[in-house]
Each structure stands twice: as structure tokens, then as C-alpha cells.
Structure 1
Amino acid sequence: MRERQASQDARRAREFEAFVAGAAGRLLHAATLLTAESPDDNPRARRLLTASLAHTYASWDRLRGEDPYDRTRQQLAVRFARGAWHQYGALSWAHPRGRPNTGGVLHRLTPQERLILVLRLFEGVAEEQTAALLGLPLERVRAICARAMANLLHPPREAPPAVAKVVPS
């Protein structure tokens, strides 16, 4: 009995290692886009991915034909959304613009805009699936995605620096 269990555990570990070897790079890139961190300095993205992979590993035997990449991506999205909600608060989740630029290309978007944009454009998740995953109406997902794209393509102009007047003496 113990040998059989050890054999199953070893098989499970090999399958999971093969999955991680093939999927971790893309998932880390998605997590880095979500957190708007620099690809060279992304500790939040790495923690997010590690927790998502741990959840997938814990439920590995219960996947029963379900795509482990899809399951991990869902965990990544849910964990990011939950963390952003707690970190930035409800109002910031929907409206903030006051985060420091951490070097990520998506830094000027809200966490919700980033999440929807990454799921839709980088991961290729359908609008209906994105809406279901986030518990939002389909039209809301479309509107947020369109607003995020507009913010990326046409960023608001920053105010020009104040010019000091020189008073002649």
C-alpha cells in the first residue's frame, strides 16, 4: 500500500514539474503584467505565481481532465483581484491613478483595468469567460477593456512644469 502511494506521489510530482517547466514562464509574465512591476524586479508577481501554482498542485489529483494552465491562470487572476482590492481599497480598485511608476508598461492603469486587459489581450480569454471569472456583467468588461486600451494608446498629458518668473532687479 505504501509503495503504491509513493509511486502515485512520484508520478504526480513528475507531471506537475513538467507542467511548471512548460507554463511557468508565461504565467510569470502574466503576473508581472498584472502587478506592473519590472520584469527584472518582480517580487509581488513571483509571490502571486507561487501561491497560484501551490493551489494548482494541491488540487492536481482533482483536475480530472481540466486544463491545469487554465486553473492556474484563474487562481492568478482571483488572487491578484483579491490582493488589489485589499491593497488599494474599493475606490482605488475602480478609479485610482496615483500609484508610483514601477517601470511596468501598464503602471498607469487601475488594477481592474490591468486584470481585464491581461486576461483579454495577453491570455486571449474570451469576454464571457473574463466576465464570469470576475463576476462582472459582459458589458462592464467590454467598457473597462475599451477604457484601458484608450488609456494606453492615448495617455493623458501631464501638466507642463511650472516656470518660475524672474523678477528683474
Structure 2
Amino acid sequence: MNSTRHDEFRDYVAARGPVLLRAALQLTGDRAEAEDLLQAALAKTYLAWDRIQDRAAVDGYVRRAMVNTQISWWRRRKLDIYPTDELPDQPVDDHTRRSDLRDALGRALDRLPERQRLAVMLRYYEDMPEAEIAEALGVSVGTVKSTVSRAMAKLRDDAALEADFPNASHPRP
């Protein structure tokens, strides 16, 4: 791979890495495993970089590589798990509570006005810088900042979210 393609791949990883890491985290549920999964998928993508004609499809290629790798790892791990009469000493992660919180947050986002919801999604889910969001929405950077700020304030004060999770902390950015 020549240096131009190497630079192109490096720029892609720098730009899309945080978003892809969040996708890997959704697949694994563990930050360290997510980092390993993303690294494995990016290694596969790097090897196939010359064959990927449509650069707009690279995210899909990486995500598919992550899913395939995760399934492979899961199958391999499944063979290594043996039943036991002893319970583990470590507390079990409460996936149900995390899922309920994610659902409640999704409903709270749905209650935001469309422009605020879009700004929050682009900023925090897609990890886009404010300048890119401003360009995508056709507004100024200041408008993006104030829109995101108002949306976050509404989410913090959302009574329905508070009712679902009264003990959840609501950090202020």
C-alpha cells in the first residue's frame, strides 16, 4: 500500500474512529473488548482498502467486519464456558437497567424539537464537531452551540426521564 493510501486510511480512522468505537461498544458491552474488536475490524479493513471502491461504504464495511469478528469471538468463547455450581464473586452487570435507561433516553430525545434532536444526535451520537454540524444544518456555529445547550437543559429537566430513573445522576456539561 503506497503512502497516499496509507494516509487516506489513517485520516479515515482519525475521523471515524470515535463513532466506530461506540458501535463496537454496543456490540461488546465492554470498553476493552470494544477497542480490541475495532482494532481487529480496522486491520481487516486496512488489508482490503484497495478493494473498497466506494469510500462512502467504508463505515458499513468496518461495521460488518466488527459484527463478523464479534460472532466469531462469541462462538469461540462459548466453547470455553463450562457450567459450575459456584456463583462468581463479581457483581453481575445489570443489562436490563442499562437497556431501560437507553430506552428512556430515546423517548426523551423523541420529545425534543426536531432541530434540537438532530443537533444532539449529530454532536453526541455521531461525534461531529460543531463546525460540521453547522455546515450540515446550514446554520452558524453559535446557533449549533445554543441549540445543543438548550436541548441538553431540556433533557436534564425532563420530568418523565426523572420519573423513570429518580436515582440517576444528571451531570451538567
TM category (shorter chain) comes to 0.3 to 0.5
What is the TM-score when the length of structure 1 is the normalising length?
A: 0.46
Which structure has more helix as a fraction of its residues? 2
What is the TM-score when the length of structure 2 is the normalising length?
A: 0.45
